[in-house]
Amino acid sequence: MNTSFYVSLDKDALYHNIEYLREYKQKELLPVIKANAYGHNSLLIAKALYDFNLKTWAVARFSEAISITEYMMNNFSINDFKILVFESLNDDYSFLEKYPQICPTINSIKDLKNALANNIPIDRLSLKIDFGFGRNGVKEEEVDELKNLIKFNSLKFLSIFSHLFSASYTDGLEVIRKFTEVVNKLGRNNFQMIHLQNAAGIYNYDVEVVTHIRTGMLTYGLQEAGFYDLDLRPVFTGLIGYVDSVRYVNELDYVAYEDLSSISPKTKKIAKIKIGYGDGFLKANNKTTCLIKKKEYVISQVTMDNTFIEVDDRVNVGDKVHLYHRPNEMKLRTGISMLEFLIAISPLRVKRIFKGEES
């Protein structure tokens, strides 16, 4: 039997979250599928979103946008989608022609002038505005110049956005006020989409001017940042595989092929599963638990290719093993967020599978 571990995903939960978020905020959703869709598999998620008639997505890098575009075109001959990339173009505009779906961000006046000089269709560009809180974007002081450029060239963009910095509640309100002012100044109708809030911003604020909310965390139902929405459902439902072998500790002691110092002296039996940090199942999982036949067992040691679990006589070869069965508690238990654990799971060695679509 195949004892390889796989990531189990719930497509109904994904669709539920999309509908729920739209209803809750009365806005459209721009799903963020960067970082391999937060470890869920950006190709699988992009196709699922497409099938749900949600055809505009956001990523951080051009490399991600290109992989997803190639996948959609080569496997399904699908090309009517858009991928907003938070990065700006450097000086290479050549690949944009090949990939009309890929929509870069303008992070400075210089970016915009370059795009105009290279005849890039402006309706595939997004304007990022920076309110002095750090990352990148057109500076507040440059908005007047921007306004003139827009007016003079009759520019219509794909979108305008900013980062809603909310170190404090009132800072956030200030960003919303300024962003709204800038959007109105540049002309709301010059943007197909207007978006400002990620997960925290969605919970903290209602923003009248936006057309979309922009989130990965809530799309996947990942929650651990001090907010909790009982109506969201986790798309990730576990890292699942089977017990590969079971040994008595004294036997292992004798064989001595692993360091047994970390095993509790009361433990008589150890189960081995075929997943380790080489698969991206991090050593930080030591001393957490997994689920076998509805009982929690301690993970005693993670090695590169295998992991050892302290079990009892209930457990046999071939039993189903559920890792990360309590995803939203990982941060409390280990100090590492479930998001980081998920992104770490190797895309090369561990498949992502929608429940009910196992092939």
Ligand X SMILES: *Cc1c(COP(=O)(O)O)cnc(C)c1O
Determine if 199 is a binding residue for ligand X (CB under 6 A).
Answer: yes
Using alpha carbons, select from 106, 116, 166, 181 the residue that is nearest to residue 138: 106
H or E stretch covering 331: helix 330-334
| Piece in contact with ligand X (CB under 6 A), picked from 69-77, 117-125, 213-221, 261-269 | 213-221
Residue 141 makes CB contacts below 8 A (sequence gap 6+) with: none
Using alpha carbons, select from 20, 26, 62 the residue that is nearest to residue 233: 20
The CA distance from 323 to 327, in Å, is 9
Determine if 14 is a binding residue for ligand X (CB under 6 A).
Answer: no
Interface residue with ligand X, options 215, 237, 289, 301 (CB under 6 A)? 215
C-alpha to C-alpha distances, 292 to 62, 323, 329, 331, 343, nearest whole angstrom: 41, 9, 18, 22, 24
112 or 217: CB nearest ligand X: 217
Determine if 344 is a binding residue for ligand X (CB under 6 A).
Answer: no
Q: To the nearest whole angstrom, how small is the minimum distance from the Cβ of residue 17 to ligand X?
A: 12
Q: To the nearest whole angstrom, how small is the minimum distance from the Cβ of residue 99 to ligand X?
A: 20
CA geometry: angle 124, 127, 133, nearest 5 deg:
150
The CA distance from 113 to 153, in Å, is 11
Q: What are phi and psi of 292, to 5 degrees?
A: -130, 120
Question: Any binding-site annotation on 177?
Answer: no
Determine if 217 is a binding residue for ligand X (CB under 6 A).
Answer: yes
Determine if 194 is a binding residue for ligand X (CB under 6 A).
Answer: no
Interface residue with ligand X, options 86, 179, 308, 341 (CB under 6 A)? 86
| Piece in contact with ligand X (CB under 6 A), picked from 65-73, 112-120, 214-222, 314-322 | 214-222
Interface residue with ligand X, options 32, 44, 59, 232 (CB under 6 A)? 32
| Burial of 155: CB neighbours in 10 Å, binned 0-12, 13-18, 19+ | buried
Determine if 160 is a binding residue for ligand X (CB under 6 A).
Answer: no
59 or 321: CB nearest ligand X: 59
Question: Any binding-site annotation on 304?
Answer: yes
3-class SS of residue 70: helix
Q: Between residue 268 and residue 327, which ones bind ligand X under the rule CB under 6 A?
A: none
214 or 322: CB nearest ligand X: 214
Q: What are phi and psi of 181, to 5 degrees?
A: -60, -45
Interface residue with ligand X, options 40, 47, 82, 163 (CB under 6 A)? 163
166 or 215: CB nearest ligand X: 215
The CA distance from 102 to 73, in Å, is 13
What residue ranges bind ligand X (CB under 6 A)? Answer: 32, 34, 60, 86, 163, 198-199, 214-217
